Amino acid sequence: MEDILDEELTTSPGKPSQNGWFMKLLAWREKHINEKTFVVMLALVIGVVSGLAAVLLKFLIATISLWVSKTVEVSHGNWAYLVFPVLGILLASLYVRYLVRDNISHGVTRVLYAIALKKSRLKKHNMYASVVASSITIGCGGSVGAEAPIVFTGASIGSNLGQLFRLSPQLLMMLVGCGAAAGIAGIFKAPIAGVLFTVEVLMLDLTAGSAVPLILASVAGATVAYAFTGYQVEFFFSQSEPFFTSRIPFVIMLGVFCGFVSLYFTKIADLMEGWFRHMKHPQLKFVVGAAMLSLLIFIFPPLYGEGYGAINTLLAGDVQSIFDNSLFYDQRANPYAALLFIGMIMLMKVVATTSTNGAGGVGGTFAPSLYVGCMAGFFFAYLFNTLGVVEGALSTKNFALMGMAGVMAGVMHAPLMAIFLTAEMTGGYQLFFPLLIVSAISYGTCRIFTPYSIYTKRLAKRGELLTHEKDHTVLTLLKMDSVIETDFIEVHPEMCLKEVVDVISRSRRNLFPVTDGDGKLLGVVQLDDIRNIMFRPDLYRRMYVNRFMSSPPAKIVVGTPMEQVMKIFDNTRAWNLPVVDEQGLYVGFVSKSKIFNSYRQVLKHYSYD
């Protein structure tokens, strides 16, 4: 897949209907319903619609999966299951390329990108395109998850509904968060995790003004899921083995282990995405990615699809069933073979996921991180039990559950969401305390080596990532074009002092860029530097610009992130700095006072409480 930041097109916000009835509706709303009340009403609508989208996505995936399972013969299933994932990727990629005509991969990153640089505006087709493409990909066996597509879908529903009613960017941002929260709540039946997702992953501040809409949307999304699919949890978990405080040292070790597994997952995903990105031809990406996925599924059948079946198997403590339909079935009773098999699955899942997306499929890394976490936790406990170094066996079921929270916390840098999501979708609230320990330690371990999550790394490299830090957020939203001033009169090296004095008489500035005939910036002339000679007529024809010009303390290249610009100002202690393009041609000046004024305006514009 092409990188999101290289191909993002200008978002068309979509103009609301100009029919008379709609304009009257807008006028009536503005007159009778205050803004905060209206936002709460929209949040409820967004929650319901996003919940329905989540239910539809799960239904489509289940329907396609059922059709695939009925189509193949059991005796030849292993071979047939190699073909269907490739077919699903092919159909999804053709749908995206020729019908959608837009890159819709990396859904969560695209939501972050829209919040940071698109004023939270997402395209209309994003309300359904990811649902169709990901259901085909996952239903046919692509080794990805449905959670990132439903986040993208829910966020797009919130954005477009807000655009329809012409809401401000700060309200659009909150409605995007409402849609994303409802999508997570609907797909996992986890309303608390939905709210925490927007806070930790999308990095939206949970203030008094935003808490009610976010919670309402998330609860609405979960309620819709409950209404259509019942109250059963996503993964069945029964704690048949109690947790003892004597196991806390092993829980701590598991947290460190999950942190390194998370780091591996993030690094390999980034490495392989870069590898696929450098392949210029879509056909080559498809062939390479599809071949890798088929080979991995052939060797390790549990990598087929989302892998929820394998998660339920390990949460039930059944290690032998993981060997079903594999080449190593005869070794299922060998504990060392089980360790090797599960360990390889744990390492290869990220390769299968990136191969699916790299080949043209559409899906996310949300479910794969849960999958890898379950494998990691089970592997950890099973290893200690096999080696016999622990007095009394560790509960593989309990550690598998803890591993799910640990790896998710590390991969997504969202420990609170990982804790509550794992508890909500499994009913494993009895293990809340060890979940806290594992998630916190895994997150801390991974954070030491990489400050960014798997979703934010792409944007962070470009300095376009919003965070909870107000200064960083506002500087990210500020763009160079909005603060460049161009009303400075240029002078040239061969101009004499008399000509410069004439320029000064026409200018409102005390700073003058010096450029050559091609427009390249050579230096600057400051009024203070020539004040002592500008009133001496005897020097008017004897002094030239090239004698009294000076070099600026620094030059700022167009496109430099605003946070870096402020660091340059701090280092140079300057109040005005020239701006040049990549060829060194003069563009204008940027002043610290102009940035401060714009900073205050943006901070006020994007604050909602």
Q: Where are the domains of the chain?
A: 4-229, 245-464, 472-605
Rounded distance, CA 405 to CA 374, Å?
Answer: 8
This prediction has a pTM of 0.77
Residue 484, strand partner residues: 590
Confidence of residue 465 (pLDDT cuts 50, 70, 90): low
Confidence of residue 604 (pLDDT cuts 50, 70, 90): low
Q: What is the pLDDT of residue 474?
A: 55
Q: Which residues 6+ apart lie within 8 Å of 604 measured at CB?
A: none
Q: What is the pLDDT of residue 476?
A: 58
Confidence of residue 477 (pLDDT cuts 50, 70, 90): low
Confidence of residue 77 (pLDDT cuts 50, 70, 90): very low
Q: What is the pLDDT of residue 12?
A: 43
Q: What is the mean pLDDT of the chain?
A: 85
Token pair, residue 208, equals 């008094």
Q: Looking at the predicted structure, is the pLDDT value of residue 59 above 90? A: yes
Cβ-based neighbour number of residue 281 at 10 Å: 8
At position 232, the amino acid (one-letter code) is: Q
Which region among 70-84, 163-177, 230-244, 465-479 has the lowest average model confidence (pLDDT)? Answer: 465-479
Three-state DSSP state, 181: helix
CATH architecture observed for domain 472-605: Roll (3.10)
Q: Which residue has the tokens 């940027």?
A: 590
Instruction: For the domain made up of 245-464, give the CATH fold.
Output: Clc chloride channel (1.10.3080)
DSSP annotation of 394 reads -
Token pair, residue 187, equals 């797909």
Which region among 113-122, 287-296, 322-331 has the lowest average model confidence (pLDDT)? Answer: 113-122
pLDDT mean over 417-430: 87
Question: Which CATH number is 4-229's, of 3.40.190.10, 1.10.3080.10, 3.90.1150.200, 3.30.565.10?
Answer: 1.10.3080.10
Looking from the CA of 75 toward its CB, the CA atoms found within 13 Å total 0
Rounded distance, CA 391 to CA 382, Å?
Answer: 14
Rounded distance, CA 517 to CA 490, Å?
Answer: 11
- Of residues 460 and 329, more confidence is placed in 329
Residue 577, strand partner residues: 590
H helices of 240-281, in order, are 248-277
Secondary structure element (H or E) that encloses residue 591, with its range: strand 586-591
Token pair, residue 186, equals 């609907």
Cβ-based neighbour number of residue 231 at 10 Å: 8
H helices of 323-414, in order, are 335-359, 366-387, 396-412
CB 520 within 8 A of CB 586: yes
CB 49 within 8 A of CB 223: no
Three-state DSSP state, 513: strand
Rounded distance, CA 288 to CA 135, Å?
Answer: 22
Helices and strands per DSSP (H, E), number in the chain: 25, 6
Confidence of residue 165 (pLDDT cuts 50, 70, 90): confident
| Share above pLDDT 90 across residues of the chain, in percent, rounded to a whole number | 44
> Of 373, 587, 358, whose CA–CA distance to 488 is shortest?
587
Confidence of residue 447 (pLDDT cuts 50, 70, 90): very high
Rounded distance, CA 215 to CA 221, Å?
Answer: 10
Task: Kindly report the backbone phi and psi dihedral angles of residue 523, in degrees, each rounded to the nearest multiple of 5, phi listed first.
Answer: 175, -165
Are the folds of 245-464 and 472-605 the same?
Answer: no
Q: Looking at the predicted structure, is the pLDDT value of residue 376 above 90? A: yes
Confidence of residue 522 (pLDDT cuts 50, 70, 90): very high
> Of 144, 130, 233, 117, whose CA–CA distance to 180 is shortest?
130
pLDDT mean over 38-50: 94
Separation in Å, CA 520 to CA 547, 565, 580, 582:
18, 21, 8, 11
pLDDT tens-digit profile of 178-188?
A: 999 999 999 99
pLDDT tens-digit profile of 151-161?
A: 999 999 999 99
Residue 524, strand partner residues: 513, 550
Q: What is the pLDDT of residue 354?
A: 94
CB 84 within 8 A of CB 136: no
Render 315-334 in DSSP notation, one character per residue: HTT--GGGGTTSTTGGGTT-
Confidence of residue 3 (pLDDT cuts 50, 70, 90): very low
Three-state DSSP state, 191: helix
Rounded distance, CA 157 to CA 169, Å?
Answer: 15
pLDDT tens-digit profile of 187-216?
A: 999 999 999 999 888 877 767 677 899 999
Token pair, residue 56, equals 């539809």
Rounded distance, CA 164 to CA 26, Å?
Answer: 10
Query: 442-458 burial, b for 16+ CB within 10 Å, e for fewer?
Result: bbebbbeebebbbbbbb
Which region among 69-78, 414-423, 481-490, 535-544 has the lowest average model confidence (pLDDT)? Answer: 69-78
Looking from the CA of 591 toward its CB, the CA atoms found within 13 Å total 10
Angle (CA) 399-400-406 rounded to 5° is 80
Q: Looking at the predicted structure, is the pLDDT value of residue 473 above 70? A: no
Most confident stretch, 64-73, 408-417, 541-550: 408-417
| Share above pLDDT 70 across residues of the chain, in percent, rounded to a whole number | 88
